[in-house]
């Protein structure tokens, strides 16, 4: 479910200390029935195991295939355009103790790189010619007494081109990608006993 940006901004997340130059682009919540306060690591583990682009709906696979093909043709995703090239990693801004929290994290099979990992909060990032993007995941109390996963996309567009790109892909994110992601992530929680 899409949430107002304030749902992220009002939380006491550590990410706020390091991302003042990023804007909150999207905030979504994911249902995790029966979750307790200490289940964030369980959710993250289920997400890692459940990540499989082959199982995504055909339209989502098609959109990402088009995006990666355009990126390859136009040089959007070269190492020079990414982390350590065009932009520094967010990890470079963190105190050593926080940056080290991601050192032992399982490698990502998606295009993101781990930034940090805490008991109820994690951040991952990617950068290319269009944007520097932070995916922030947080574990928050839900209205029913349980807990839920929240995801915020924090972005720093690369100039006018990056802002136009973000505006162009917004309808695809809201109508196709995030609904599919919601189904996949909520299914990962429901099936965690089978996955882990």
What confidence score (pLDDT) does residue 5 get?
Answer: 96
CA distance 118 to 107: 16
Alpha-carbon gap, residue 113 to 111, rounded angstroms: 7
* Structure token pair of residue 108: 């990502």
**pLDDT confidence of residue 193:** 82
Please count the CA atoms within 13 angstroms of the CA of 27 that sit on its side-chain side.
16
Q: Give the Cα separation of 21 and 16 in Å (integer).
A: 10
Q: Tokens in use for 127?
A: 């950068």
Between CA 123 and CA 54, with CA 119 as vertex, the angle to 5 degrees is 50
Give the pLDDT of residue 194.
79
Residues 161/130, Cβ–Cβ less than 8 Å: yes
**Predicted pLDDT at 52:** 59
* Dihedral, CA of residue 149, residue 101, residue 94 and residue 112, to nearest 10: -60
Given this model, what pLDDT does residue 13 score?
Answer: 96
Mean pLDDT for each 10-residue chunk of the chain (196 residues)?
95 95 96 94 87 69 86 89 89 89 69 90 94 96 91 96 94 90 90 78
- Strand residue runs (E) in 81-187: 113-117, 121-127, 131-141, 147-157
| pLDDT recorded at residue 55 | 66
């Amino acid at each position: 479910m899409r949430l107002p940006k304030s749902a992220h901004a009002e939380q006491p997340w550590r990410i706020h200390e390091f991302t003042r130059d990023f804007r909150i682009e999207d905030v979504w919540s994911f249902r995790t029935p029966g979750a307790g306060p200490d289940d964030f690591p369980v959710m993250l583990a289920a997400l890692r195991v459940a990540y499989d682009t082959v199982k995504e709906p055909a339209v989502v696979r098609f959109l990402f295939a088009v995006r990666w093909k355009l990126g390859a043709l136009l040089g959007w995703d070269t190492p020079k355009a990414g982390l350590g090239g065009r932009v520094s990693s967010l990890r470079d801004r963190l105190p050593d103790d926080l940056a080290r929290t991601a050192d032992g994290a399982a490698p990502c099979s998606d295009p993101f790189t781990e930034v940090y990992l805490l008991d109820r909060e994690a951040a991952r990032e990617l950068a290319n010619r269009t944007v520097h993007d932070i995916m922030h995941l947080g574990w928050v109390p839900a209205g029913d007494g349980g807990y839920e996963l929240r995801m915020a996309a924090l972005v720093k567009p690369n100039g006018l081109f990056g802002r136009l790109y973000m505006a162009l892909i917004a309808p695809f994110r809201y109508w196709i990608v995030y609904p599919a992601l919601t189904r996949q992530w909520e299914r990962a929680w429901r099936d965690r006993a089978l996955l882990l």
